[in-house]
């Protein structure tokens, strides 16, 4: 056993146990072990689909059928995925009062599927489709078929309730996320490259408000050298399992 202060994971455990008001900010990386590719990196969606051609509101309005080729792939991959040990671990940490909320940039619904109750969906979700003409909403499962382009009763092509580049963050999610960041004692930043704005501001807001920022990621990010207090390098599932193990019994 090593002394608490010198080992980053034990230092993270000490902060989580002492403060008991942690918030998690998650990104695509937490769902990689559920089989959902992230956007960046060699296996990422953006190696296949140029974000400026597929992930902007402008692109959707100009050529919705083309953008639906990418969206359809996301709906079917996310629809077939199950939460992994990292999602379940965060739900368990909420249950025991260590983590009080999850702010997620993901649109896959896996935190809720794992049992997390307070989930702030910063970029919306794939569960709902919205008409860009008459604003009618539909559950995705009612209108979407694999490879198909879902239509509204009015004849327009439906858009998923996700935030594309060029769209604002839903105001309630933004308010709630900033409030959580301003008032948490520890921010766990898990599986995000922190390159998408304004989500990438959340760690800085937390830090400036006095929180310790603990980053879980196999790679360093733009936050690591500037904002992160404790860097835990590795996969989310293994590191969250280890955090839980040490919280239950610091002697192991
Ligand atoms: P990103 O693709 O830019 O970065 C993913 C990060 O996860 C990288 O830093 C990578 O090193 C890390 N990572 C990879 N495997 C990991 C693992 N096993 N454990 C922990 N970390 C791991 O993701 P982002 O910063 O979330 O930005 C992408 C945007 O695309 C988000 O806004 C999100 O809305 C969207 N997106 C969502 C999903 C989803 O819902 N699952 C999937 C792809 C993209
Ligand atoms: Zn309509």
CATH number of domain containing 248: 3.40.50.1220
Nearest protein Cα to ligand 1, atom 39:
106
Q: What is the pLDDT of residue 44?
A: 73
Say yes or no: CB of residue 228 within 6 Å of ligand 1: no
Residue of 35, 38, 89, 239 to test ligand 1 pocket, by largest number of atoms within 8 Å of CB = 38
Q: Is 58 a catalytic residue?
A: no
What pLDDT score does 102 carry? 98
For residues 15 and 102, state if they share a domain: yes
Q: State how many domains the chain has.
A: 2
Judge if 93 and 58 occupy the same domain: no
Q: Are residues 14 and 59 in the same domain?
A: no
DSSP letters for 158-197: EEEEE--BTSPPPHHHHHHHHHHHHH-SEEEEES----ST
Query: What integer pLDDT is reported at residue 237 of this predicted model?
Result: 98
Question: Cα(221)–Cα(103) distance, rounded to whole angstroms?
Answer: 18
Find out whether the beta carbon of 244 lies less than 6 Å from any atom of ligand 1. no
Both 140 and 228 in one domain: the answer is no
Q: 105 and 29, same structural domain?
A: yes
221: Cβ below 6 Å to ligand 1? yes
Specify the pLDDT at position 40. Answer: 75
Residues 71 and 54 in one domain: yes
User: What DSSP string describes 96-135?
Assistant: TTSEEEEEE---S-HHHHHT-SSEEETTEEEEEEEETTT-
Q: Pick the ligand that lies closest to the CA of residue 216.
A: 1
Do 135 and 228 lie in one domain? The reply is no
Choose, from 58, 87, 111, 123, the residue flagged as catalytic. Answer: 123
Same domain, 156 and 174: no
102 and 223 housed in the same domain: yes
Q: What are phi and psi of 118, to 5 degrees?
A: -100, 95
Q: How far apart are the C-alpha atoms of 252 and 239, rounded to whole Å?
A: 15
Q: Looking at the structure, do residues 71 and 179 belong to the same domain, yes or no?
A: no
Output the pLDDT for position 42.
66
State the virtual CA torsion across 87, 220, 49, 25 in degrees, nearest 10.
Answer: 40
pLDDT by 10s per residue, the chain, length 252: 334 457 999 999 999 999 989 999 999 999 999 999 987 766 677 778 888 888 999 999 999 999 999 999 999 999 999 999 999 999 999 999 999 999 999 999 999 999 999 999 999 999 999 999 999 999 999 999 998 899 999 999 999 999 999 999 999 999 999 999 999 999 999 999 999 999 999 999 999 999 999 999 999 999 999 999 999 999 999 999 999 999 998 777
Q: Is 33 in the pocket of ligand 1 (CB under 6 A)?
A: yes
Closest-lying ligand 1 atom to the alpha carbon of residue 221: 9
Regarding whether 143 and 239 lie in a shared domain, the answer is no
Q: Which of 101, 134, 162 represents a domain boundary (last residue)? A: 162
CATH of residue 153: 3.30.1600.10
The whole model's pTM is what? Answer: 0.95
Nearest CA to ligand 1 atom 16: 29
What domain range includes position 155?
37-80+126-162
Same domain, 72 and 104: no
């Amino acid at each position: 056993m090593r002394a608490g202060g010198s080992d980053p994971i034990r230092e993270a455990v000490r902060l989580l146990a002492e403060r008991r008001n942690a918030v998690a900010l998650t990104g695509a990386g937490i769902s990689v072990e559920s089989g959902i590719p992230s956007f960046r990196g060699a296996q990422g969606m953006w190696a296949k689909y140029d974000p400026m051609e597929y992930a902007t509101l402008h692109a959707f309005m100009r050529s919705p059928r083309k953008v639906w080729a990418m969206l359809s792939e996301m709906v079917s991959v996310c629809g077939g995925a199950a939460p992994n040990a990292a999602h379940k671990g965060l739900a368990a940490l909420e249950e025991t009062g260590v983590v009080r909320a999850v702010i997620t940039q993901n649109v896959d619904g896996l935190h809720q599927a794992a049992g997390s109750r307070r989930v702030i969906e910063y970029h919306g979700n794939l569960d709902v489709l919205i008409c860009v003409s008459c604003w009618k909403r539909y559950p995705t499962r009612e209108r979407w078929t694999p490879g198909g382009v879902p239509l509204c009763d009015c004849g327009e092509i439906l858009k998923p309730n996700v935030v594309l580049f060029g769209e604002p963050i839903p105001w309630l999610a933004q308010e709630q996320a900033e409030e959580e960041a301003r008032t948490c004692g520890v921010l766990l930043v898990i599986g995000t490259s922190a390159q998408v704005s304004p989500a990438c501001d959340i760690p800085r807001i937390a830090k400036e408000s006095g929180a310790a920022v603990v980053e879980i990621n196999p790679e360093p990010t733009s936050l690591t050298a500037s904002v992160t207090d404790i860097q835990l390098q590795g996969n989310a599932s293994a590191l969250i399992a280890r955090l839980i193990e040490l919280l239950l019994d610091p002697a192991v």
